[in-house]
Amino acid sequence: MPAQTIVNTTKEGGCYCGAIRYAVSKPPLVKGQCHCRACQRYAGGAPQFFLLVPPEGFDWTKGSPAEYARPDLPNAVTRYFCPTCGTSLVTRRQDNPAVVVKVGTLDDPSRFTPHVAICHGEALAFHTVPDGIAIFEDLPTG
């Protein structure tokens, strides 16, 4: 094995009331912001900021989140949230095993910087995108 720099990348987070906790132990594949209407509903009108984490790098460490997927949508994502306080923590897509972690639920979200904006075609006039990051009008595939 080639020599590597070992860095402790584990990040922890949880919901507003503390009943649900998780750990992220792998570096994110994507760091982004999503402007879609569903994210706006969950985020008070703002885009949602997220880490896309490989599935082996995500673990629930306390409590059991509730799940919801819209039955009327053919490719509905599954949303994981605290059944007590309602905080939206994680989303998983049917076509991608990676875990979408909501940045605001990290214990320390202060070092996050997005490098991609997705679903920007649904952005509202008051949304902002940092200079120089990639913008996709839709959900990029692959």
Residues forming the site for Zn ion (CB under 5 A): 15, 17, 19, 34, 36, 39, 82, 84-85
Select 39 or 53, whichever has its Cβ closest to Zn ion.
39
CB of 82 or CB of 117, closer to Zn ion: 82
Residue 24 or 123: which CB sits closer to Zn ion?
A: 123
DSSP, residue by residue, 91-136: EEETTEEEEEEEGGGBS-GGG----EEESGGG--TT----TT-EE-
Residue type, position 21, single letter: R
CB of 85 to Zn ion, least distance (A): 3
Q: State the residue for tokens 């910087």.
A: 113
- Phi (first) and psi of residue 35, to 5 degrees: -100, 10
Residue (9 or 66) nearer to Zn ion, CB: 66
Provide the minimum distance between the beta carbon of 137 and Zn ion in the complex, in angstroms, as a whole number: 13
Question: Scanning the structure block, which residue is given the tokens 């997927």?
Answer: 69
Q: Between 24 and 36, name the residue whose CB sits nearer to Zn ion.
A: 36
User: Shortest Cβ distance from residue 130 to Zn ion (Å)?
Assistant: 17
CB of 104 to Zn ion, least distance (A): 13
For the beta carbon of residue 42, count every other beta carbon within 10 angstroms.
18
Q: Minimum Å distance from CB 103 to Zn ion?
A: 13
Best CA proximity match to 102, nearest among 141, 142, 65: 65
